[in-house]
Amino acid sequence: KIDKIIIGLSQWREYKEKAITEIGEKGKELINEEDNILIFGDSSTIFSILKTVAEEIRKTIRVYVMECRHRFGVTQEGENMAQKIWNMGYRVFLISDISFAHYCCGDEAIKINKIFIGCNIIHPEDKFVVNTIGSLAVAMVAKQSGIPLYVAGMRWKVFKKDRIKIIDEKRLLHLLLAE
pLDDT above 70 coverage of the chain, percent: 71
State the distance between the two ends of the chain, measured CA to CA, in whole angstroms: 47
Lowest mean pLDDT among 21-25, 47-51, 157-161: 157-161
- Rounded to 5 degrees, what are φ and ψ at 40? -120, 115
Asked if residues 125 and 161 have their Cβ atoms less than 8 Å apart, the reply is: yes
Q: What digits encode the pLDDT tens for the residues 14-39?
A: 777 887 888 888 888 899 999 999 99
pLDDT tens digit sequence for 67-83: 887 665 556 788 889 99
| Alpha helical stretches, state H, the chain | 2-27, 44-52, 55-58, 77-87, 100-105, 135-145
pLDDT at residue 172, as a whole number = 40
Nearest residue to 156 via CA among 7, 6, 13, 27: 13
Of 20, 15, 75, 68, which is closest to residue 46 (Cα–Cα)? 20
C-alpha 146/C-alpha 144 separation (Å) is: 6
Residue 42 confidence class, pLDDT cut points 50, 70, 90:
confident
Whether this prediction's pTM lies above 0.75 is answered by yes
Measured in degrees and rounded to the nearest 5, phi and psi for residue 54 equal -60, 145
Mean pLDDT of the chain: 77
User: Measured between alpha carbons, how far is 29 from 5 in angstroms, rounded to an integer?
Assistant: 37
